[in-house]
Structure 1
Amino acid sequence: MDSSQIGSALAGGPPATAAAKGPAVSSDFETFLRMLATQLQNQDPLNPVESSDYAVQLATFSSVEQQVLTNELLRGLAARQTVTGMGGMAGWIGLEARSAAPVRFDGATPVELAPNPLVAADKAVLLVRAPGGATLAEIPIPVSAEPYFWDGRDAEGKRLPPGRYGFALENYQNGELLATDPLETYARVTEARNENGEIMVVLDGETLIPSAEVTALRDPGTPLQ
């Protein structure tokens, strides 16, 4: 077995096995030494392998071994971080989370909204939207940060059917639209999940959002602040 074959074995064989078995790669060092001994015994006497080649092979093996161990350590740290995060999320279950995600309207209970109009605004209009984004109603509301309770009706007083709705707020000054901002509301947290390494929360009505989009938590029934 010449030096190129040893290098090929190091590049293609042990790392794959180590990646599958984790820290057990350390035990392969003895195998590597046996491979070197075999190479010495079978080398061409007229064209012996240079000692520098052995040093390169040893350094290559050591580097691969260290990289595998480092990768295992990083995977372990990531797994522990996810478990820790999920453990903290357990305390969210049953609380109400504030976000700009669509919320469920049951057909009767008013939805409590948290408007935050611009300081320069002299008129505010509530936009009620379907989950796909289509605007279903435009309702003038007070220019105030006080909670607003949407009773499920559009601007003409017609009650919309039960379902999930999103909300936005148009800010006007002297009849000119300044900005349209998402409008937050509260919904009860029913579940926490790990989706591809990201912690997600499920809100009442099966709305799934990243936990990072939650801006506040409260006990059910607590008025908006």
Structure 2
Amino acid sequence: MDISQTTQAASAAQVATKTAQSTASEAMISSDFETFLKMLTAQMENQDPLNPIESTDYAVQLATFSGVEQQVQTNDLLKGLAGQLGLMGMSDLAGWVGMEARVAAPTYFDGSPVTLSPTPPSTADQAVLVVRDRSGAEVSRTPVPASSDPMEWAGMDPYGNPLPKDTYTFELESYGNGYLLSTEPVKAYSLITETQMRGTEMVLVLEGGATIEADAVSALRDPSLR
């Protein structure tokens, strides 16, 4: 199934879900209104003849119930609009599939160098790149320039042997005058393989299975232009 078919199917599913929710809300309002009328009738039948309820009190009760009914219908309408806007956003994000996103997330290493974008503090004079595997175990620790210039990670262990194809995370330890200043995640370029709607949130699926929110992406690039 191509992207347009996937989006259409998702749209149909969203419409069906919203229709079912709207129908359920209408049924609930109808049921509640009938119950309200029964209670109001019972109240009128059992009122004290010597101290009857003022007609204005009935009007207030009717107005209050009507206001609640309108609020429920308004909430349903807003939910429906939010779902439609979400699908529109997913359709736009579908164009990101096949692009590489710069993001701080687990990155799949397929044997080709991975482009990293470190951001050390301006006061740092030394930096160390720490690489961890899927389990969180440290597999590499390499001194690197204390610079924000992009760098290529070749996927080697401390002995110069290639690491297996898998998902890795990157951290930058920044030092100043011999003291550790900070340890921060390093953004890397990862291939986007899919877009998904999860409730009202749009997420991107990266090669290797990691998922991120769209607003976590700080840059996009076409891998064919590298």
TM-score, normalisation: structure 2: 0.76
Task: Name the CA distance, whole Å, in 2 between partners of 1:111 and 1:163.
Answer: 12
Aligned residues: 204
Percent identical residues:
46
C-alpha displacement of 1:138 = 0.4
> How far does the alpha carbon of each residue in 1:164-213 deviate from its partner, in whole angstroms, 9 at most, with x for none?
00001111123221111111111111111112321110011111111121
C-alpha displacement of 1:49 = 4.1
> How far does the alpha carbon of each residue in 1:124-166 deviate from its partner, in whole angstroms, 9 at most, with x for none?
2110012343322101122333322212112232322221000
The one-letter amino acid paired with 1:90 is: A
> How far does the alpha carbon of each residue in 1:7-42 deviate from its partner, in whole angstroms, 9 at most, with x for none?
xxxxxxxxxx9872449969x98x799869966995
The one-letter amino acid paired with 1:58 is: L
Q: Which residue of 1 aligns with 2:196?
A: 193
Q: Which residue of 2 aligns with 1:170?
A: 173
| Distance 1:179-1:60 versus aligned 2 partners, 3 A rule | same
Aligned partners of 1:18 and 1:24 also within 8 Å = no
Give the alignment's Cα RMSD to 1 decimal: 3.1
Unmatched runs of 5 consecutive residues or more in structure 2:
1-20
Task: Name the CA distance, whole Å, in 1 between partners of 2:109 and 2:87.
Answer: 33
TM-score, normalisation: structure 1: 0.76
Aligned partners of 1:124 and 1:171 also within 8 Å = yes
Q: Which residue of 1 aligns with 2:16?
A: none
Q: Which residue of 2 aligns with 1:183?
A: 186
Task: Name the CA distance, whole Å, in 1 between partners of 2:158 and 2:124.
Answer: 20
Question: 1:53 is paired with a residue of what secondary structure?
Answer: helix
1:93 equivalenced with 2:81 (yes/no): no
Task: Name the CA distance, whole Å, in 1 between partners of 2:24 and 2:78.
Answer: 15
Task: Name the CA distance, whole Å, in 1 between partners of 2:54 and 2:29.
Answer: 27
Aligned partners of 2:192 and 2:204 also within 8 Å = yes
The one-letter amino acid paired with 1:105 is: F
Unmatched runs of 5 consecutive residues or more in structure 1:
1-16
1:155 equivalenced with 2:152 (yes/no): no
